């Protein structure tokens, strides 16, 4: 692959990254106009189509290995992390669009919706992306996009992008759930016309945290005479009570909460 093709591919990927970032950020704060979401999805498929060529460029660079230059070694690490995270973002987006897998996706001890991880990881990529662009600016030239051959490449990519995007959108409509259809914004309808039927312990769609009952502990320390540590079994075995309360978060009013009274647990070691 000659230098013109290298700059051509890298400049296209840079442009697509910028387009995806701008349309994605705009979509987080405003749902209109709707066609921006379609541009975002089409740009994503264009990026996917360029992965084989970018992989060839990256592998050729990695074959040179590490050397004594700290800058090069650091950029190899940044590039690998950026590549893995980008592929993860793309896979999560496709899985969400095609309704593949569970609603919550576990990454380590945390679970969040696929689309939530999609934009969350993408936002986290911004610093790495800026560093990569700063140190690996493709230095595009006008001649890289001039000529019949380059025009044919752009036309081919455009046709393939539209075709792939069209097939993907058709599949997303076929695979979507009737109970939670996918809106044009990419979000899924869930819990419509249920009034104030919110979760009782967390806000809607706030994700999950994996807890191990065997190792979980409730510790009371600080301004108490005797510190206290209760295991999960201790809490369940203790006397329970129920009460009505009005939470400060936007949860259901008048919710009934049962379990060991917090004040009783904290006072168990002694008076504060």
**CA gap 269, 267 in Å, rounded:** 6
Is 234 found in the same domain as 116? no
Is 130 found in the same domain as 48? yes
139 compared with 17, residue with greater pLDDT: 17
Place of tokens 């909460």: 257
Q: Which of 121, 149, 175 is the last residue of a domain?
A: 175
Query: SS3 for 56?
Result: helix
- pLDDT at residue 251, rounded to an integer: 45
Does 205 reside within a domain?
no
Q: What is the pLDDT of residues 23-32, one digit of tens each?
A: 988 888 887 7
182 and 170 in contact (C-beta within 8 Å)?
no
Res. 231: pLDDT tops 80:
yes
How buried is 252 (Cβ within 10 angstroms: 0-12 exposed, 13-18 middle, 19+ buried)? Answer: middle
Q: pLDDT averaged over the chain?
A: 78
Over range 10-19, report the average pLDDT. Answer: 90
Over range 204-225, report the average pLDDT. Answer: 76
Is 161 found in the same domain as 216? no
What distances in angstroms separate CA 192 from CA 27, 58, 199, one per listed residue?
Answer: 21, 46, 14
- pLDDT at residue 197, rounded to an integer: 58
Structurally, the chain folds into a number of domains equal to 2
Does 202 reside within a domain?
no
- pLDDT at residue 258, rounded to an integer: 53
Is 217 found in the same domain as 164? no
Q: What is the pLDDT of residues 246-262, one digit of tens each?
A: 444 444 444 454 555 55
Res. 136: pLDDT tops 60:
yes
Is 233 found in the same domain as 155? no
Is 168 found in the same domain as 91? yes
What is the residue range of 236's domain?
210-267
Q: What is the pLDDT of residues 74-119, one digit of tens each?
A: 888 888 899 999 999 999 999 988 888 888 888 888 888 888 889 8
Q: 235 in the Ramachandran plot: left (φ > 0), alpha (ψ -120 to 50) or beta?
A: alpha
- pLDDT at residue 255, rounded to an integer: 47
Res. 195: pLDDT tops 80:
no
Over range 182-190, report the average pLDDT. Answer: 74
Q: What is the pLDDT of residues 235-246, one digit of tens each?
A: 777 655 554 444
Q: What is the pLDDT of residues 149-182, one digit of tens each?
A: 888 988 999 999 999 999 998 988 888 877 777 7
Res. 263: pLDDT tops 80:
no
50 and 12 in contact (C-beta within 8 Å)?
yes
Does 185 reside within a domain?
no
Q: Which two tokens stand for residue 83?
A: 């590549």
- pLDDT at residue 211, rounded to an integer: 73
């Amino acid at each position: 692959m000659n230098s013109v093709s290298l700059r051509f591919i890298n400049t296209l990927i840079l442009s697509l990254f910028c387009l995806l970032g701008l349309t994605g950020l705009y979509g987080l704060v405003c749902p209109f106009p709707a066609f921006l979401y379609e541009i975002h999805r089409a740009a994503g498929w264009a990026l996917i189509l360029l992965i084989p060529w970018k992989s060839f460029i990256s592998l050729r660079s990695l074959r040179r290995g590490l050397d004594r230059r700290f800058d090069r070694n650091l950029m190899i690490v940044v590039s690998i992390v950026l590549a893995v995270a980008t592929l993860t973002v793309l896979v999560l987006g496709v899985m969400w669009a095609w309704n593949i897998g569970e609603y919550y996706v576990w990454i380590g001890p945390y679970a969040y919706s696929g689309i939530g991880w999609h934009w969350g990881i993408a936002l986290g990529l911004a610093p790495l992306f800026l560093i990569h662009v700063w140190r690996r600016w493709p230095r595009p030239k006008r001649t890289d996009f001039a000529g019949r051959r380059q025009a044919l490449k752009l036309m081919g990519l455009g046709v393939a992008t539209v075709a792939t995007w069209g097939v993907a959108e058709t599949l997303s409509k076929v695979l979507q759930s009737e109970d939670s259809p996918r809106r044009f914004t990419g979000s899924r309808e869930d819990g419509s016309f249920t009034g104030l039927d919110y979760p009782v312990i967390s806000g809607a769609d706030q994700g999950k945290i994996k807890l191990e009952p065997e190792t979980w502990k409730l510790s009371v320390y600080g301004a108490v005479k005797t510190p206290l540590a209760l295991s999960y079994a201790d809490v369940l075995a203790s006397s329970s009570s129920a009460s009505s309360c009005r939470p400060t978060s936007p949860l259901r009013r008048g919710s009934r909460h049962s379990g060991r009274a917090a004040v009783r647990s904290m006072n168990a070691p002694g008076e504060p």
